[in-house]
Structure 1
Amino acid sequence: METSKSQSLQGTTWYISGWPSAPVPGSTPIAFQFHGAPHSGSLRDRLSGTAGCNNFNGGYTVSDGSLTIGPALATTRKACAAEVMAQEQKFLQLLPQVTSYSIGNDGQLTLTYLKDGEQGSISFIPANQYSALHNSQWQLVTMAGVEPIANENSRAIPQLQFLGDRLTGTGGCNRLMGQFTIDGDNLTVDERMASTMMACSEPLMAQEQQFIQALVNAQKYEILTSGELVIDYLMGEKTEQLVFLPLTEEDSAPR
């Protein structure tokens, strides 16, 4: 059962976790807050946040699960990379087309919008579910102390991205999809990870399987002051580590 109380929108920062586009590496996380107080069963106040490059703010009205944003949103005028700006423009264009919202029992916010006669949705997680894990796409640097081999054709190296409670990425050959939970510095990845079924060289396939097994045996994570993500995982009775660096736009560009 979902709630639809206007008060539930406030009191937290909402971080984007799912929408029709994948976050651009290197962009600031898209996030915003609702400000105001209920007035006679309806709400007409302000929201503010960041759209990946620029800050934005505007008015909103909410009542009984319906939500109207804008229509005019003010933004700062900072310039960022072209991909970041395109992502930002798309997000800011969708906000005034929002028609309703819901907050699930998992605490996540879904905004429903109507664009060109078609309905879509954007999902967000509250600040207490957000982690620095969600900031970036992560590229594997070492697994159990060994540097990964790259795909012979695409040059792909294992990567991960954390979106809400979903995990996506590549093992170097196949796309990976799964669910995860965090509790403090504890990280649990659901063992029912899915993947595409492409065939690659034997060394690459063996590395990918080792990577998947490491993920589903994850125990803890830490983001070092140097920016590296370290995931401790069990291999038999021994604790090993996956070490990642955050991707930049240059890293993720086609080669």
Structure 2
Amino acid sequence: MRLNFSQIFFFATIMGGLTLGIIDKTLPLLSTNSVQAMEASTSPSLQSTTWYISGWSGSPVPGSAPITLQFKDNRLMGTAGCNSFNGAYTSGEGNLTIDQALATTRKACAAEVMAQEQKFLQLLTQVTAYSIGDDGQLTLTYLKDGEQGSVTFIPASQYNALHNSQWQLVTMAGVEPITNEENSQGIPQIQFLGDRLAGTGGCNRLMGQFTIDGENLTIDERMASTMMACPEPLMNQEQQFIQALVNAQKYQILTSGELVIDYLMADKTEQLVFLPLMVDPQTQG
């Protein structure tokens, strides 16, 4: 039978000083400050961590590079989805100010990635504060046009191969998807960014959250979607696709590049198989 610490202490008190003396040697009591110091040493700090974006209004689109931050001494650096950037910052007691003169490289990527990149870089110069939560995530608070907003990041230790990736469905339960001839995005697609899942079911846009624990994948059943109407076969396929996602169990990325998600349907394990999608660079005028 295993005894917890409170039980050992209780028995030691009853048995007297001899037993308590033994416990003092084998299980030294720690002060509250010592425990807090130990906990703080295992949590990520602003300057010793690479941060990957995980939450931002508008469901950020994955770019050719993940959106990241690094703080070192008084310098800030990272990637904004396409280009790298760097600049100066000051911080103290939860306050954070990032210099407006951020320098960037000059690569060209897809139009939506470039637009998002500019929005993100402008956001950085409007940051006023930061905090690191018990879950290890970094939250930057910014003030834009008099309104407060926030963007969150996960530490590198929580980053996963699925993050900042896009996938297009190849088969669902061994069957190839049907397509929407009137919609070039008719084939179901998903993308992962931080703890956010987005994509299309072949007709409607999908949004939700996911968590990963080793090879286990859990997708929140409270997925949101737009309300467009499409031909019945596509609508049926979309519903099957959503049900497959929220019943996800495990995932693996094969050496050949496919993403395979095992899901449970009617007490039987089926598979979603995806091929990766890449954002194609384009020259900006």
TM-score of the superposition, structure 1-length normalised? 0.82
The answer on 1:212 being equivalent to 2:242 is: yes
Distance 2:70 2:243 in 1: 38
Q: For 1:153-207, what per-residue CA distance to the aligned partner results, in whole angstroms no more than 9, with x for missing partners? A: 3242212122322322221122323222100111011233333333322211221
Pick from 142, 152, 168: which aligns with 1:113?
Answer: 142
Q: 1:242: how far off?
A: 0.8
What residue is the counterpart of 1:40 in the other structure?
none
Which of 240, 253, 256 is 1:223 aligned to?
253
Query: Which structure has greater strand proportion?
Result: 1
Give SS of 2:124's match.
Answer: helix
Offset of residue 211 of structure 1 = 0.9
Alignment of 1:128-139 (within 5 A): 128-139=157-168
Q: How does 1:123-162 map to 2 (within 5 A)?
A: 123-155=152-184, 156-162=186-192
The answer for unaligned runs of 5 or more in structure 2 is 1-39, 281-285
Uncovered stretches (5+) of structure 1, i.e. residues with no partner: 37-44, 251-255
Aligned to 1:29: 66
Match of 1:203, SS state, is helix
State whether residues 26 and 247 of structure 1, in contact with CA within 8 Å, keep that contact through their aligned partners in structure 2. no
Contact kept? 1:56, 1:74, Cα under 8 Å: yes
> Is the 1:25–1:247 Cα contact (8 Å) retained in structure 2?
no
**Secondary structure at the residue paired with 1:133?**
coil
In structure 2, the residue matched to 1:173 is: 203
- Assess if the C-alpha contact under 8 Å between 2:200 and 2:206 holds in 1: yes
Q: What pairs with 1:92-107 in structure 2 (closer than 5 Å)?
A: 92-107=121-136
- The secondary structure found in structure 2 opposite 1:145 is coil
1:115-152 residue CA offsets vs partner (Å, 9 max, x unmatched):
33333222212212221212222221111121111234
The aligned amino acid for 1:32 is: L
Residues 178 and 86 (structure 1), Cα distance of their counterparts in 2 relative to 1, 3 Å cut: closer
Q: 1:78 to 1:153 in 2, by over 3 A?
A: closer
In structure 1, give the amino acid aligned to 2:165.
S
Q: Name the aligned partner's letter for residue 56 of structure 2.
A: W
Paired residue secondary structure (1:134) = coil
Return closer, same or farther for 1:80/1:192 CA change in 2, 3 Å cut-off: closer
Equivalent residues of 1:24, 1:249 under 8 A apart? no
Q: 2:113 aligns with which of 75, 84, 93?
A: 84
Aligned to 2:214: 184
What count of residue pairs does the alignment treat as equivalent?
238
Counterparts of 2:112 and 2:221, CA distance in 1 = 34
Equivalent in the alignment of 1:60: 89
Identify if the C-alpha distance between structure 1 residues 168 and 197 changes in structure 2 by more than 3 Å, giving closer, same or farther: same
Identity %: 81
For residue 76 of structure 1, report the CA deviation from its aligned partner. 2.8
- Secondary structure of the equivalent of 2:176? coil
SS at match of 2:152: strand
Residues 25/127 of structure 1: CA separation in 2 closer, same or farther (3 Å cut):
closer
Instruction: Please give the secondary structure, in 2, of the residue aligned with 1:148.
Output: coil
1:8 aligns with 2:38: no
- Please name the residue that 1:48 is paired with: 77
| Cα shift at 1:221 | 0.9
Which residue is 2:17 aligned to?
A: none
Q: Which amino acid in structure 2 is aligned with residue 173 of structure 1?
A: C
Q: Residue in 1 aligned with 2:16?
A: none
Which amino acid is 1:11 matched to? S
Instruction: Answer yes or no: is the 8 Å Cα contact 2:168–2:190 preserved in 1.
Output: yes
- What SS does the aligned partner of 1:132 have? coil
Distance 2:239 2:113 in 1: 33
Of structures 1 and 2, the larger Rg is shown by: 2
**Cα distance in 1, alignment partners of residues 112 and 210 from structure 2:** 28
Contact 1:97 1:115 in 2 (8 A): yes
Cα distance in 2 for residues equivalent to 1:121 and 1:205: 35
Give the Cα separation in 1 of the matches to 2:178 and 2:49.
42
- 8 Å Cα contact 2:47-2:70 kept in structure 1: yes
